C-alpha cells in the first residue's frame, strides 16, 4: 500500500543499528464503525469476530478493511459475557453499511451463542439491525433498555441479540504504515510480528492484513490499463538491480504493517508502538531499516513522519 | 448544589386533596422564597398559596425536598424533567406521571398511577405503590414509555397497563393483572405475580419467581437459556447500582402470551 519514498531532505537517524528514514507514512480520511460481539465463551466470541473480519484487508478489493481491535472483558459487555470488538473501515458511511450488514448477517448471526452490539460511540449511527432482524420472519421482538434498542431474533440455539444501531465516525484514518527492511527473512517476520503485537495493545486501531502484515506493498497504477495498483517495485528485493530501487544491496526482504484507526491520534500512537518494538527487537534479527509508504504527500490528508514518532 | 425544602405544616391541611402539579426543581429554579410561597396549588376546587401550606427553606435549584408529605398530596413529580425530588413521607396519586427525566425519590408509600405515562428518569419508592403503576388514565393510548421504577415493597393491581417501554421492579409482589394490555417494556418482581398477569399482553416481558394463577391464553414454552436475561441484569446493575435486583439466573421457564392477541409477550419464571 505504498509508493516510492520522496526524501524530504532530513537525514535518517540510526538507533540500535537500525536506520529510521526521514520520511512519512501518508494516510487517508476514512469512515469507520464497529461492533462488540459476545458469546458464551471467549473462544466463540473470537471465532465470530475472526470470521466477520475475514477478507477485509483492503478497501479496494474487499469493500472494507476489518480487524479485531481488542477482547472485551465480560464485565464491560452489555450482556455480561466475554466479547471481542471488531472495527470496519470504508470510504463513507454509505459504503461501510452494506459491508457491516453482510458480515454481521453471514458471520455473526450464524455463529453459535453470538450477540452483536454497538462498538463505536458516535453521534452518527448506522442501522445495524436492518435486514438482519427480518431473519426472524415476524417472530423477532425488541427490548429497549436505557434508550438502547436490542432486537431478539429467534434462532435454533435460542436468540440472536442484535443492537438496533451502531456508531460511525467520518474522521477515522486508514493507511498509516511502516516498511520494515531486513537482511534475514525469518528474523524480519519475527520482528514484524512483535511490532504487530505491540500495535494491538493500542486502543481503537486495527492492522487489517493477514496477521497484521503485508508482503505485497503496492503503488498506485500500473503499466497495464485497468490495474488500480501494482507491486511496489522500489521495495522489491529481486528488483534491486533496477534504477528505481530504494533498497540496499544486502536487503533480503521488506514487510509492511498497515494501520487503520478511529482517530488520527490512535494511528500516531500505533506508529510509535510499532517503531519502538522494531527498534528494541529488530537488530538481533538483522533488521536494518524502517521506512514508510507515501504518495509524495499529495493524496492523503494525514502524514506521520517517522522521526517524529520515535520512542 | 442548591436544595429547596418545602415542609408541610400538618395543622393547616385543607380537607380536600392537594395537587402539587408544576412543583418541580426546574419550575422553581431561580425563584425567591417569596415567589415560591405565592405559587398557587389546587386543593379540590380551591386555589391555595403554597406558602399557606408549606414552610419554605433553602434555595431553589437542582434538588427539591418535600418534607412531612402525606397520601393527600397528589401529582408530586408530575412532569418532572430534570433534577431530583426527595419526598419524606407518603404521596398520593399520579406521582411522577408524565415524568421525562430526573429522579423522584419517595421515602414512604406511593398511591395509584405512579409513573403513569412516564417517559424517562428514575422513581424509587421505599414502601409500596398502589394500582396502575406505569399505566394509563382512562382513554389514553400508552402507559409508561421509558424510564425506571424501583419499589422496595409491593405494587397494586394492573401495573404496566398499556405500557410500551421502560422497567418496573418490585422487591415485593405485583398485584393481579400486572402487564395487562402491555405493548412492551419489562416488569420484574423478586416475590411473584398475583393472579392472571398479562391479559391482552402483545409484547413485553414479565419476570418473576412465581405466579398465583395463569391465564389460559399463556402457553408453556419450556425452559430456556436466554442471553436477554444477562442483558437485562447487566443493564440494571449498571444503571441502578445498589438498587438493582439480584442478577437473573441463567435459565427460566418461558410462557408465551397472550395468545388471545399476537402472543409476542412473555412471562419468564425462575426459581
Contact A145 B167 (CB under 8 A): yes
- Is the peptide bond prior to A156 cis by the omega test (within 30 degrees of 0)? no
A235 within a domain of the structure (yes/no): yes
Whether ipTM exceeds 0.95: no
A4 within a domain of the structure (yes/no): no
Of A117, A147, A169, the residue at which a domain comes to its end is A169
CATH of the domain at A224: 3.30.70.520
Is A152 an 8 Å CB contact of chain B? yes
What's the confidence (pLDDT) of residue A9? 55
Q: How far is A50 from chain B (nearest CA, A)?
A: 21
Residues A22 and A50 in one domain: no
Q: How far is B98 from chain A (nearest CA, A)?
A: 17
Contact B227 A144 (CB under 8 A): no
Residues A35 and A165 in one domain: yes
- Mutation to test the A interface, candidates B120, B187, B227, most A Cβ within 10 Å: B227
B225 within a domain of the structure (yes/no): no
Mean predicted confidence (pLDDT) in B106-131: 98
Is B246 an 8 Å CB contact of chain A? no
Mean predicted confidence (pLDDT) in A246-258: 97
Q: Residues A96, A97, A101, A104: what is their CA dihedral angle, to the nearest 10 degrees?
A: 40
Contacts of A81 in chain B (CB under 8 A): 227, 230
Contacts of A80 in chain B (CB under 8 A): 230-231, 233-234, 247
A192 within a domain of the structure (yes/no): yes
Residues A196 and A301 in one domain: yes
Full-model pTM: 0.93
Contact A150 B231 (CB under 8 A): yes
Predicted confidence (pLDDT) per residue in A135-183, tens digit: 999 999 999 999 999 999 999 999 999 999 999 999 999 999 999 999 9
Backbone angles phi, psi at B49, to 5 degrees: -75, 140
Residues A154 and B267: their CA atoms lie apart, in Å, by 16
Instruction: Compare CB distances from B226 to A145, A146, A158 and report the shortest one's residue.
Output: A158
Domain count, chain A: 2
Of A115, A134, A169, the residue at which a domain comes to its end is A169
A38 within a domain of the structure (yes/no): yes
Angle formed by the axes of helices A185-200 and A264-281, nearest 10°:
140
Predicted confidence (pLDDT) per residue in A271-288, tens digit: 999 999 999 999 999 999
What's the confidence (pLDDT) of residue B66? 97
Mean predicted confidence (pLDDT) in B225-251: 96
A55 within a domain of the structure (yes/no): yes
Q: How far is B207 from chain A (nearest CA, A)?
A: 14
A204 within a domain of the structure (yes/no): yes
What's the confidence (pLDDT) of residue A60? 85
Instruction: Compare CB distances from B205 to A38, A143, A147 and report the shortest one's residue.
Output: A143
Region of residue B115 (left: phi > 0; alpha: psi -120 to 50; beta: else): left
B170 neighbors B160 (Cβ within 8 angstroms): no
**Which residues are registered as beta bridge partners of B18?**
B43, B73
Is A156 an 8 Å CB contact of chain B? no
Domain that holds residue B188: 3-192
Cα B42 to its chain centre, rounded Å, is 23
Residues A182 and A249 in one domain: yes
Residues A139 and A199 in one domain: no
Of A125, A146, A169, the residue at which a domain comes to its end is A169
Mean predicted confidence (pLDDT) in B7-14: 82
Residues A177 and A163 in one domain: no
B65 within a domain of the structure (yes/no): yes
A6 within a domain of the structure (yes/no): no
B268 within a domain of the structure (yes/no): no
**Which residues are registered as beta bridge partners of B105?**
B86, B124
B116 within a domain of the structure (yes/no): yes
Q: Give percent of chain B above pLDDT 70.
A: 100
Residues A152 and A186 in one domain: no
Instruction: Compare CB distances from B233 to A80, A113, A152 and report the shortest one's residue.
Output: A80
pLDDT > 90? residue B15: no
pLDDT > 60? residue A3: no
Q: How many CA atoms lie within 13 A of A55 on its CB side?
A: 9
What's the confidence (pLDDT) of residue A296? 86
**In the predicted model, what is the mean pLDDT of chain A?**
95
Residues A160 and A112: their CA atoms lie apart, in Å, by 9
Residues A22 and A38 in one domain: no
Mean predicted confidence (pLDDT) in B136-149: 96
Residues A175 and A243 in one domain: yes
Residues A44 and A36: their CA atoms lie apart, in Å, by 13
B74 neighbors B18 (Cβ within 8 angstroms): yes
Mean predicted confidence (pLDDT) in A80-109: 98
B217 within a domain of the structure (yes/no): no
What's the confidence (pLDDT) of residue B12? 64
DSSP characters over A232-247:
-GGG-GGGTTSTT---
Alpha helices in B73-114 (DSSP H): none
What's the confidence (pLDDT) of residue A4? 44
> What are the residues whose beta carbons fall under 8 Å from the beta carbon of B155, sequence distance 6 or more?
B128, B129, B130, B133, B168, B170, B172, B173, B174, B175, B178, B189
Predicted confidence (pLDDT) per residue in B57-116, tens digit: 999 999 999 999 999 999 999 999 999 999 999 999 999 999 999 999 999 999 999 999
Residues A157 and A202 in one domain: no
pLDDT > 60? residue A1: no
Residues A147 and A191 in one domain: no
Domain that holds residue A203: 13-28+171-309
What's the confidence (pLDDT) of residue B120? 97
pLDDT > 60? residue A89: yes
Contact B264 A79 (CB under 8 A): no
Is B262 an 8 Å CB contact of chain A? no
pLDDT > 50? residue A2: no
Predicted confidence (pLDDT) per residue in A7-55, tens digit: 445 799 999 999 999 999 999 999 999 999 999 999 999 999 999 999 9
The residue ranking higher by pLDDT, A23 or A6, is A23
The band of B1, judged by pLDDT with boundaries at 50, 70 and 90, is confident
Domain count, chain B: 1
A191 within a domain of the structure (yes/no): yes
Mean predicted confidence (pLDDT) in A185-196: 98
Q: How far is A113 from chain B (nearest CA, A)?
A: 8
Contact B167 A79 (CB under 8 A): no
Amino acid at each position: 500500500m505504498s509508493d516510492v519514498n520522496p526524501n524530504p531532505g532530513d537525514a535518517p537517524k540510526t538507533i540500535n543499528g537500525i536506520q529510521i528514514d526521514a520520511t512519512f507514512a501518508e494516510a487517508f480520511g476514512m469512515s469507520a464503525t464497529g461492533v462488540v460481539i459476545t458469546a458464551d465463551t471467549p473462544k466463540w466470541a473470537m471465532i465470530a469476530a475472526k470470521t466477520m473480519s475475514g477478507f477485509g484487508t483492503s478497501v479496494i478489493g474487499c469493500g472494507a478493511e476489518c480487524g479485531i481491535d481488542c477482547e472485551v472483558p465480560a464485565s464491560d459487555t452489555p450482556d455480561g459475557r466475554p466479547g471481542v470488538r471488531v472495527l470496519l473501515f470504508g470510504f463513507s458511511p454509505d459504503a461501510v453499511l452494506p459491508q457491516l450488514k453482510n458480515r454481521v448477517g453471514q458471520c455473526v448471526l450464524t455463529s453459535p451463542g453470538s450477540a452483536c452490539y454497538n462498538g463505536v460511540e458516535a453521534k452518527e449511527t448506522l442501522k445495524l439491525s436492518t435486514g438482519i432482524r427480518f431473519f426472524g420472519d415476524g417472530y423477532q421482538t425488541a427490548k429497549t433498555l436505557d434508550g438502547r434498542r436490542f432486537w431478539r431474533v429467534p434462532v435454533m440455539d435460542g436468540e440472536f441479540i442484535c443492537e438496533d444501531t451502531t456508531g460511525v465516525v467520518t474522521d477515522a484514518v486508514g493507511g498509516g504504515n511502516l516498511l520494515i527492511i531486513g537482511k534475514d527473512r525469518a528474523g524480519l517476520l519475527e520482528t514484524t510480528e512483535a511490532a504487530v503485537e505491540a500495535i494491538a495493545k493500542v486502543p481503537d486501531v486495527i492492522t487489517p492484513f493477514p496477521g497484521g502484515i503485508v508482503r505485497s506493498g503496492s503503488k498506485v497504477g500500473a503499466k497495464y490499463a485497468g490495474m488500480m495498483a501494482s507491486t511496489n517495485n522500489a521495495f522489491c528485493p529481486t528488483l534491486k538491480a533496477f534504477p528505481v530501487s530504494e533498497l540496499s544491496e544486502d536487503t533480503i526482504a521488506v514487510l509492511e504493517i498497515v494501520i487503520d484507526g478511529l482517530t488520527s491520534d490512535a494511528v500516531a500512537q500505533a506508529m510509535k508502538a510499532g517503531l519502538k518494538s522494531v527498534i528494541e527487537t529488530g537488530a538481533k534479527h538483522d533488521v536494518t531499516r524502517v521506512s514508510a509508504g507515501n504518495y509524495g504527500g499529495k493524496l492523503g490528508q494525514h502524514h506521520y513522519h517517522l522521526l517524529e514518532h520515535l520512542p | 448544589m442548591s436544595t429547596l425544602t418545602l415542609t408541610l405544616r400538618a395543622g393547616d391541611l385543607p380537607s380536600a386533596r392537594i395537587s402539587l402539579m408544576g412543583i418541580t426543581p426546574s419550575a422553581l429554579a431561580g425563584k425567591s422564597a417569596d415567589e415560591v410561597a405565592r405559587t398557587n396549588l389546587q386543593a379540590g376546587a380551591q386555589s391555595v398559596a403554597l406558602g399557606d401550606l408549606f414552610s419554605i427553606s433553602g434555595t431553589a435549584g437542582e434538588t427539591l425536598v418535600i418534607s412531612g408529605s402525606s397520601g393527600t398530596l397528589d401529582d408530586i413529580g408530575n412532569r418532572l424533567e430534570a433534577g431530583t425530588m426527595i419526598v419524606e413521607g407518603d404521596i398520593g396519586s399520579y406521582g411522577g406521571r408524565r415524568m421525562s427525566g430526573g429522579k423522584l425519590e419517595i421515602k414512604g408509600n406511593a398511591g395509584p398511577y405512579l409513573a403513569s405515562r412516564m417517559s424517562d428518569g428514575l422513581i424509587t419508592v421505599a414502601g409500596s405503590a398502589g394500582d396502575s403503576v406505569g399505566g394509563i388514565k382512562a382513554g389514553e393510548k400508552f402507559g409508561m414509555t421509558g424510564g425506571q421504577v424501583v419499589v422496595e415493597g409491593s405494587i397494586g393491581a394492573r401495573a404496566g397497563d398499556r405500557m410500551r417501554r421502560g422497567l418496573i421492579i418490585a422487591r415485593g409482589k405485583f398485584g393481579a393483572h400486572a402487564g395487562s394490555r402491555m405493548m412492551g417494556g419489562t416488569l420484574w418482581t423478586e416475590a411473584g405475580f398475583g393472579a392472571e398477569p398479562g391479559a391482552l399482553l402483545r409484547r413485553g416481558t414479565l419476570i418473576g419467581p412465581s405466579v398465583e394463577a395463569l391465564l389460559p391464553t399463556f402457553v408453556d414454552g419450556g425452559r430456556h437459556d436466554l442471553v436477554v436475561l444477562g442483558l437485562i441484569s447487566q443493564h440494571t446493575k449498571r444503571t441502578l447500582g445498589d438498587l438493582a435486583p439480584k442478577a437473573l439466573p441463567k435459565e427460566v421457564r418461558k410462557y408465551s402470551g397472550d395468545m388471545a392477541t399476537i402472543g409476542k409477550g412473555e412471562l419468564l419464571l425462575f426459581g
